[in-house]
Amino acid sequence: MISLFLILLPLAGLLLVWASGKCLKLHVAVINITALLHCAGTAVLWFLPELDDIAPGRVTELLGVDFLSLTVLSVVSFLNLLSSIQTIKYFPMVRQHYMTNAEKFLSPQLVAICLLGFLSSMTLVTVSRNFGLLWVAMEATTLASAPLIIFRRSGNSLEAMWKYILICSVGIGFALFGTMLLAIAGEGSHAGMDMLLLSQADLHPEWFKAAFVFMLAGYGTKMGLAPFQSWMPDAYSEAPGVLSVLSSGALLACSFLGVARVLEIAPDSVRSFCTDLMLVLGLISLALAAFFIVRQNDYKRMLAYSSMEHMGLVSIMWALGLQYVALLHIIIHALLKVVLFMTADNIQLACSTQKISNISGLLGVIKRNGINYILAVLLLCGMPPSPLFFTEMTLIGKNVWLGAVVLVLLFVVFAGMTYHALRMTMGKRSACTADAGEVKKLERLSNIPTVVLVIVLLTGLLLAAGVVSGELAVR
């Protein structure tokens, strides 16, 4: 019952933080120890899967893991570990920054509580084997992350939080309706995933279609798919980087898991309907994101639209049946978003602005952050040897016409993102509001992003070596 342990562990940490008062060091310590133990538990699940494994045909009532959930759980756990380590230096730094500027901000205790609650609810999303429980957990992620958006306590962040919580809750409400429809589509009117899987062939096709539409709309809202994405840029531009990292990397993967779970039990007769729907939504997301990225003047919003673009790509991949490629894409996207959102936070602390047009010459101001930023943007756009290059190549090679459309859109995204990133990093030095001491601290905050970049680059090189040696073997 390791999965239960992984859910309860952050809750125990949460209680500890809540009871411990205002000691910042203790909060950070609790967050980090929880993150480490969580990672360890996830690793144990990988190596000893029989502890929580789901054998085909076995009915687990509520909790259980399989390959898909373990992958997403690992993303959640690893990202949480990275952002927890970042908080060690980030919390005191940000506190000082806001205190000197006499700005209001959320108390670190509440931030710690929300982060731990967020971790627990995301874990529950990944390990739940019941669509009802999945819904409960998904709504809990919204509730746990919403207070973090008003970190800066400004009017804008309140607005972003209100939009986030209202749009996501109504969207997720549709997913609850879809869950009910899904239960009706099954014989026993029960929302357990394994029960539904067992009776996969007998699922009522019309009810299932209706259920899939509503669940795709619901979890698609949370995932940032095209017509339902309006909360995303607002929330990511106002939230602190620590939350954006988790939200963009881990939460989107969790929401995608919700959609993938429904598709998993689709009976053969309606599967093509479902995949077509995902394909269309994915393409619309990609196109809209490309449009908004090109004309963007806020680097955090740009990153939000880039998340939307990649979720669109993942949906397209999944719809085409490229499951493993899509999972690799999710993982690498999550890692690169760690680099980008953490760096974006540092840029914001250094320049006190979120506008691209007000920033230039970052390489002269905060050199290491600037290098990380430009490298991560290039890798995120699929510049080889980025692993995303290989996943996107596979996607494009799968279907010629679709591939051509995707390629054009990817080119637009590439042009837009690199243009903005180059404008920010190169050129004359712009005004930097941070003093020398702060700049030094900000440079130190770039350590984790650098490590993550190295991991991504190594993965890409390994993949490249594999592809090249594979092709040599073929010849």
Partner 1 sequence: MTELSEIILSILLLIDLALVASSRMLPCIRLAALHGVLIGLFPLALWFSKNDTVPHLEIVVVALIGVLVKGVLLPYLLRMAMYHAKVKRELEPLIGYAGSLAVVVALSGLAFYFWIRGGVTPAGSPILAAPVAFTSMIAGLFIVIARKKALTQVIGFLIFENGITVFGLGMAVECGLLVELGILLDVLVLVFVMGIAMFHINREFSHIDADRLTHLNEVEEDETDDSGESEVKA
Q: Which residues bind partner 1 (CB under 8 A)?
A: 61-62, 103, 130, 132-133, 135-136, 139-140, 142-143, 146-147, 150, 153-156, 158-163, 165-166, 169-170, 173, 176-177, 180, 183-184, 188-191, 233-234, 237-238, 292, 295, 297-298, 354-355
Query: Cβ of residue 416: shortest distance to partner 1, in angstroms?
Result: 14
Nearer to partner 1, 138 or 316 (CB): 138
Query: Cβ of residue 29: shortest distance to partner 1, in angstroms?
Result: 27
For residues 416 and 162, give the distance between their C-alpha atoms in angstroms, rounded to a whole number.
29
| 41, 69, 183, 243 from 6: Cα distances, Å | 7, 13, 28, 20
Query: Cβ of residue 304: shortest distance to partner 1, in angstroms?
Result: 11
Decide if 294 contacts 417 (C-beta within 8 A): no
Query: Cβ of residue 415: shortest distance to partner 1, in angstroms?
Result: 19
Q: Locate tokens 């920033």: which residue?
A: 359
Nearer to partner 1, 309 or 392 (CB): 309
Nearer to partner 1, 272 or 433 (CB): 433
Nearest to 74 by CA among 44, 50, 48, 51: 44
Query: Cβ of residue 183: shortest distance to partner 1, in angstroms?
Result: 4
Nearer to partner 1, 186 or 385 (CB): 186
Whether omega before 267 lies within 30 degrees of 0, making that bond cis, reads no
The token pair that represents 213 in the structure block: 């539409």
| 150, 199, 251, 309, 347 from 233: Cα distances, Å | 14, 40, 15, 12, 18
Rg (CA), the chain: 22
Count other Cβ atoms within 10 Å, centred on residue 225.
Answer: 28
Query: Cβ of residue 136: shortest distance to partner 1, in angstroms?
Result: 3
| 142, 228, 288, 352, 463 from 313: Cα distances, Å | 23, 16, 12, 33, 19
For residues 223 and 249, give the distance between their C-alpha atoms in angstroms, rounded to a whole number.
11
Query: Cβ of residue 132: shortest distance to partner 1, in angstroms?
Result: 3
Query: Cβ of residue 156: shortest distance to partner 1, in angstroms?
Result: 5
Query: Cβ of residue 164: shortest distance to partner 1, in angstroms?
Result: 10
Nearer to partner 1, 158 or 396 (CB): 158
Nearer to partner 1, 25 or 355 (CB): 355
Query: Cβ of residue 149: shortest distance to partner 1, in angstroms?
Result: 10
For residues 247 and 232, give the distance between their C-alpha atoms in angstroms, rounded to a whole number.
10
Whether omega before 233 lies within 30 degrees of 0, making that bond cis, reads no
Decide if 54 contacts 129 (C-beta within 8 A): yes
Residues in the chain: 475
Q: Locate tokens 């905050």: which residue?
A: 445
Query: Cβ of residue 163: shortest distance to partner 1, in angstroms?
Result: 7
Nearer to partner 1, 194 or 238 (CB): 238
Count other Cβ atoms within 10 Å, centred on residue 475.
Answer: 4
Helix (H, G, I), strand (E, B) or coil at 203: coil
- Residues near 56 by beta carbon (within 8 Å), at least 6 away in sequence: none
For residues 244 and 157, give the distance between their C-alpha atoms in angstroms, rounded to a whole number.
13
Nearer to partner 1, 17 or 137 (CB): 137
Nearer to partner 1, 263 or 356 (CB): 356
In one-letter notation, the amino acid at residue 158 is: L
Nearer to partner 1, 306 or 394 (CB): 306
Longest dimension (CA), the chain: 68
| 173, 232, 278, 294, 468 from 226: Cα distances, Å | 18, 11, 11, 16, 36
Nearer to partner 1, 87 or 130 (CB): 130
Decide if 207 contacts 181 (C-beta within 8 A): yes
Nearer to partner 1, 163 or 368 (CB): 163
Query: Cβ of residue 199: shortest distance to partner 1, in angstroms?
Result: 14
